[in-house]
Amino acid sequence: MTAAIPKHKRDLIRSDYLGARIHPEILAKKLELDRTTINNYRRCFKTIEREYPDKLHDYSFCLMPHSLDRNRHEINREAQLVTLFPEIMDSVSYKKGISLKPLYAIYKSKCPNGYAFKPFVQHLFQWRKDNNICNYHHLRIKHIHPNDLVTLTNWKKGTTVASKFRKAVIILGSYNGKHIKHLAAQIESKVQTVLEWMEIYRTSGIEALERKVTTVNHTILESRKVRQDNLIKLVHQSPKLYQLNRTSWRLRDLSNVYQRLYGEYICISAIKDNLHRAGYGFRRSRQTLTSPDPKFRQKMDFIKNILGNLRNDEKFFSIDEYGHFSVKLKGGRSLSRKGENKVVPQLQKSKGFMVVTAAIELSTNQITHFYSRKKDTEEMIKLIDLLIIQYPHQRTLYLSWDAAAWHNSKLLKARLEQLNDIEYRTIHNNPEIKLAPLPSCAQFLNVIESIFSGLAKAVIHNSDYQSLEDCQSAIDMYFRERNEYFLANPKHAGKVIWGKEKVKTVFKETNHCAAKK
């Protein structure tokens, strides 16, 4: 910027800057100057207003951009700013990362004629870079008691537990002015965790850093379990049952329906966490966790009513088939050394195949099974006849199975009518047979699937039987040992000893188990 234009024109531009603020284009035409010249002089007066406010109305004062006075003033301001940075940083009182505007407010309170915000920020960033100052510099540990210093040094030597070593690294590193993010990376932890440890030491001392035994609130755990079970019940049902025109659930729909049914609001993130802990997630698969049966609730209520009022002379059976499956080298999860992987040929010659048809009685946890080479009505009739022979003194046998075609055939219905005929029962003294079918596409509710899951993991996966008879012998032994255990321990089922069964062998809407062959 220069003073090449006449002084009276420069004074008119200064007067306009102080008062009217006419549009630059109009003022340029009036003074017969270029518009750029007008803008340059206005910027000059703006600089005078910021740097030398007492000279703004002094028409004899003209700021020259390259004058020695300005350079000297600039050097003095920068030196003053650099000396103020440590004091400004230490005066911050908030507990989060450094915010620029509060720092600038502190600076302006100390230097009213100092830098504007943008150059202040530029100088601050350069100073932080030159001095390795992190965004949490004001939160560092500034004082350590001599006794604490000895204790932290012992922790850091690695003579104690790993958690104390990591905390000692953080406290001592912060005290020595190390970068917080570098400390977090050194112990492979989050910055937030590092800041929490520093705040604990700063406010409560080294005693608070000791690991404390946490207590478990069983009431809260129970409420969480109930909430999770209720969510799984909803997932197993179709959204259409709750007047939602959808074929699959959305998280926000689950939230709305849950609040409507149970009077408790649950947010979408909580629903996602609960379902994730239960093993649920949105996946592309042919297998579905939802039953589209419009009579889902009626069938469920009917089954639960039977189980809730089951008498001593009544038995309830969950029935299904495992297979077809071939007897050959099988893969699966097994304990092995790192780098050693079991290889299973894709093409193998089968040593035979079979189907295991089984029924579990829920009140005694006893299994009845036999082998066949097919799944059809004849096999179901064979199983019913076997159960009648095995439980001759019962008043009623309830049979629960899925919606497979052979579970609802005309031949099966005719056989059931014959067995339930009063004259036939009087002659043969057999129990009455009643059906309690599961909702359609709800195999995940079939209790026998849990047994098949344990069977597969115990004697099918990782197997290499030499014949069909060897495989059948192993399955017979598995079921025999299981039945003997639950005869001796009728109150215990599922995971207590057998461990390989994914869920307890009880009828629950929250069960979801399918055996992998």
Indicate if 98 and 204 belong to the same structural domain.
no
Q: How far is CA 118 from the centre of its chain?
A: 42
Q: What is the mean pLDDT of residues 274-300?
A: 72
Q: What is the mean pLDDT of residues 5-32?
A: 81
Indicate if 25 and 121 belong to the same structural domain.
no
Q: What is the mean pLDDT of the chain?
A: 78
Query: Among candidates 222, 219, 230, which has minimal Cα distance to 271?
Result: 230
Segment holding 325, helix H or strand E: strand 314-326
Q: In DSSP terms, which residues pair with 260 in a beta bridge? A: none
Is residue 232 a contact partner of residue 249, using CB atoms and an 8 Å limit?
Answer: no
| Torsion sign, CA atoms 209, 213, 218, 223 | positive
For residues 219-250, b (16+ Cβ closer than 10 Å) or e, as one string? Answer: eeeeeeeebbebbbebbbbbbebbeeeeeebe
Q: Indicate if the pLDDT at residue 478 is higher than 50.
A: yes
- List the domain range (segments joined by +) for residue 36: 7-55
Q: Indicate if the pLDDT at residue 206 is higher than 50.
A: yes
Is residue 84, in this structure, part of any structural domain at all?
Answer: yes
Q: Give the end of a domain, one of 166, 192, 209.
A: 209
For residue 317, the one-letter residue type is: F
In this predicted structure, what is the pLDDT of residue 476? 92
pTM of the prediction?
0.45
Indicate if 361 and 487 belong to the same structural domain.
yes
Indicate if 240 and 133 belong to the same structural domain.
no
Q: What gap in Å lies between CA 510 and CA 512, rounded to an integer?
A: 6
Q: What gap in Å lies between CA 311 and CA 266, rounded to an integer?
A: 39
Query: Among candidates 439, 452, 392, which has minimal Cα distance to 419?
Result: 392
Indicate if 229 and 307 belong to the same structural domain.
no
Residues belonging to the chain: 517
235-273, pLDDT tens digit by residue?
A: 888 887 888 877 678 888 899 999 999 988 999 888 888
Q: What is the DSSP letter of 66?
A: T
SS3 call for 299: helix
Q: Indicate if the pLDDT at residue 232 is higher than 70.
A: yes
Q: Indicate if the pLDDT at residue 422 is higher than 50.
A: yes
Q: Domain with 472 in it: what CATH number?
A: 3.30.420.10
24-51, pLDDT tens digit by residue?
A: 788 888 888 888 888 888 888 888 888 7
Indicate if 432 and 362 belong to the same structural domain.
yes
In this predicted structure, what is the pLDDT of residue 156? 79
Q: In DSSP terms, which residues pair with 432 in a beta bridge? A: 396
Indicate if 355 and 483 belong to the same structural domain.
yes
Q: Give the end of a domain, one of 209, 243, 268.
A: 209
Query: Among candidates 325, 319, 438, 435, which has minimal Cα distance to 379?
Result: 319
Q: What is the mean pLDDT of residues 98-108?
A: 79
In this predicted structure, what is the pLDDT of residue 351? 85
Q: How confident is the model at residue 369 (pLDDT cuts 50, 70, 90)?
A: very high
Q: Give me the number of domains the chain comprises.
A: 5
Helices (H), 187-282: 191-204, 218-235, 251-262, 268-277
284-296, pLDDT tens digit by residue?
A: 645 445 667 777 8
Indicate if 399 and 480 belong to the same structural domain.
yes
Both tokens assigned to 458? 């115990």
Indicate if 382 and 409 belong to the same structural domain.
yes
List all residues 6 or more positions away from 318 whose beta carbon is below 8 Å from its beta carbon.
359, 360, 362, 400, 401, 446, 447, 448, 507
Indicate if 163 and 128 belong to the same structural domain.
no
Environment class of 441 (CB within 10 Å of its CB; exposed 0-12, middle 13-18, buried 19+): middle
Indicate if 425 and 367 belong to the same structural domain.
yes
Is residue 513, in this structure, part of any structural domain at all?
Answer: no
Which residue reads 């057999």 in tokens? 430
Indicate if 22 and 76 belong to the same structural domain.
no
307-348, pLDDT tens digit by residue?
A: 888 888 888 888 888 888 888 888 777 655 566 677 778 778
Q: Indicate if the pLDDT at residue 148 is higher than 70.
A: yes
